């Protein structure tokens, strides 16, 4: 079967044309930033549990020059994504560039296991031990350690936080479990906030959650592994099949829509091959399982290992809920009516439980979907301008 799939994939590449260096979209976030004319720095952070993470930084905008100390904006991507998503749409459209042009020192994090964070002090990626994490560990280790590094490097005392999808989940985990980090946040802007997931409409998650979202004794027996890794072959195949002139372009678009909701008006066909050059960026199977558990349980709670391990981990038969009452820094919610991952009713349940909820912003575009927050052609008009306006209130 694998041989048949490989042969078919090669045939599709040949049918679509060969990948040439001159036409190939830039797959590396840092190279893309430099190609767009912005300064770029790479920084590495080692977490308390040994994962080595890479961050990308845009210290200043070429439109302003290096004009001294700037307030910090920290951006955190969603599941299967990376820092690339914050720059993919290019200058004047992508959030990282918009914030840089507005005077922010922009830092983009990368969670353990994605394209830019596949190193550990001791464990190689071919060991299952490397992949034994969920977004819980990203929230209690990765994000806090990256924020600490950014504050030490810049001399600032607080950051403006912007997260999308899982980037919002890990923020809430961090605040629940390490509430001292409230003091390091000026404001938190959560785009497509993913906490309560019980009413999500994504057909992929709804199909697999009844199986994958069960208390996971399988993980106990077999360990976790990498989920949807990226490699050169997959990138080449995706780039060739998903060019705007390709006969497969509608299939490529539908793959994106099936995840977050249909919105043809906000997806530029010219962008899809660039998306394929950077996504999926890889994750752990446990991250996906944890979201499936959220759908099944209709709660925002820790990973359910099954009654075998839960008492050892938590002291209870069932995993405890996250303590949303600990998220005391200002939180601003941005969500869409057509978001298949984060349903309006789920977001509003989250809203009602946050102790310092400062903005309830339903995007004024009826078809606004989950991935429009990072790839929508009018994201600046409907979301980013609002984010920038609100951020300025906390400076």
pLDDT, one tens digit per residue, over 143-183 is: 999 999 999 999 999 999 999 999 999 999 999 999 999 99
Active site residues: 165, 370
Domain count, the chain: 1
Nearest to 170 by CA among 142, 133, 197: 142
The pLDDT value given to residue 206: 78
Contacts of 104 (CB under 8 A, 6+ apart): 70, 71, 72, 73, 160, 391
Q: pLDDT exceeding 70 applies to what percent of the chain? A: 89
Residue 345 has which token pair? Answer: 């009713």
CATH number of the domain where residue 70 is located: 3.40.50.1820
Query: Looking at the predicted structure, is the pLDDT value of residue 18 above 50?
Result: no
The pLDDT value given to residue 333: 98
| Lookup result for tokens 């042009």 | 101
Q: Which long-range contacts (CB under 8 A, 24 or more apart) does 32-41 make?
A: 32/84, 32/87, 32/88, 33/58, 33/87, 33/96, 36/87, 36/90, 36/91, 36/97, 37/62, 37/91, 38/62, 38/91, 38/97, 38/100
Query: Looking at the predicted structure, is the pLDDT value of residue 120 above 70?
Result: yes
The pLDDT value given to residue 380: 98
Name the least confident of 76-90, 103-117, 220-234. 220-234
The pLDDT value given to residue 12: 39
In a domain, 19, yes or no: no
Separation of CA 128 from chain center = 22
Tell me if 202 sits within 8 A of 260, measured CB to CB. Answer: yes
Which H or E run includes 173?
helix 166-177
In a domain, 156, yes or no: yes
Burial class (CB in 10 A: 0-12, 13-18, 19+), 54: buried
In a domain, 8, yes or no: no
In a domain, 6, yes or no: no
In a domain, 15, yes or no: no
Give mean pLDDT, residues 6-32.
58
In a domain, 287, yes or no: yes
In a domain, 376, yes or no: yes
pLDDT, one tens digit per residue, over 312-324 is: 999 999 999 999 9
Query: Model-level pTM?
Result: 0.92
Q: Which domain holds residue 98?
A: 29-392
CA–CA distance, 174 with 152 (Å, rounded to integer): 19
pLDDT, one tens digit per residue, over 207-265 is: 777 766 676 655 555 557 888 776 676 677 777 889 888 888 888 888 888 878 888 99
Query: Looking at the predicted structure, is the pLDDT value of residue 9 above 50?
Result: no
Beta strands in the chain (DSSP E): 41-46, 51-58, 72-76, 105-108, 119-120, 159-164, 185-191, 226-227, 283-284, 331-335, 357-362
In a domain, 72, yes or no: yes
């Amino acid at each position: 079967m694998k041989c048949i799939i490989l042969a078919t994939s090669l045939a599709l590449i040949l049918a679509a044309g060969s990948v040439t260096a001159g036409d190939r979209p830039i797959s590396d976030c840092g190279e893309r930033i430099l190609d767009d004319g912005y300064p770029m720095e790479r920084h590495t952070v080692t977490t308390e549990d040994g994962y080595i993470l890479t961050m990308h930084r845009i210290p200043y905008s070429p439109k302003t020059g290096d004009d001294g100390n700037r307030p910090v904006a920290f951006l955190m991507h969603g599941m299967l994504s990376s820092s690339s998503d914050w720059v993919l749409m290019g200058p004047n459209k992508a959030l990282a560039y918009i914030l840089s042009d507005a005077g922010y020192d922009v830092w983009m994090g990368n969670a353990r296991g994605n394209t830019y964070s596949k190193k550990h002090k001791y464990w190689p990626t071919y060991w299952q031990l490397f992949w034994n994490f969920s977004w819980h560990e990203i929230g209690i280790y990765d994000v806090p350690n990256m924020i600490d590094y950014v504050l030490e490097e810049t001399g600032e005392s607080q950051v403006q936080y912007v997260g999308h999808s899982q980037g919002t989940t890990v923020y809430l985990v961090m605040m629940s479990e390490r509430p001292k980090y409230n003091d390091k946040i000026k404001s938190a802007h959560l785009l497509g906030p993913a906490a309560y997931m019980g009413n999500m409409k994504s057909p992929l998650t709804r199909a697999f959650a009844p199986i994958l979202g069960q208390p996971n004794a399988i993980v106990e027996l077999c360990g976790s592994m990498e989920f949807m890794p990226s490699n050169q072959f997959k990138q080449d195949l995706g780039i060739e099949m998903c060019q705007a002139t390709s006969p497969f372009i509608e299939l490529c678009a539908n793959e994106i829509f099936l995840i977050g909701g249909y919105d043809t008006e906000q997806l530029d066909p010219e962008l899809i091959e660039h998306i394929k050059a950077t996504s999926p960026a890889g994750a752990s199977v446990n991250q996906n399982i944890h979201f499936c558990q959220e759908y099944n349980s209709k709660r925002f709670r820790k990973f359910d290992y099954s009654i075998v391990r839960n008492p050892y981990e938590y002291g209870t038969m069932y995993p405890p809920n996250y303590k949303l009452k600990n998220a005391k820094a200002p939180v601003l919610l941005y969500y869409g009516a057509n978001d298949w991952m984060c349903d309006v009713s789920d977001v509003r349940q989250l809203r009602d439980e946050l102790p310092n909820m400062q903005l309830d912003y339903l995007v004024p575009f009826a078809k606004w979907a989950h991935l429009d927050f990072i790839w929508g052609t009018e994201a600046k008009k409907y979301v980013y301008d609002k984010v920038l306006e609100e951020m300025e209130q906390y400076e």
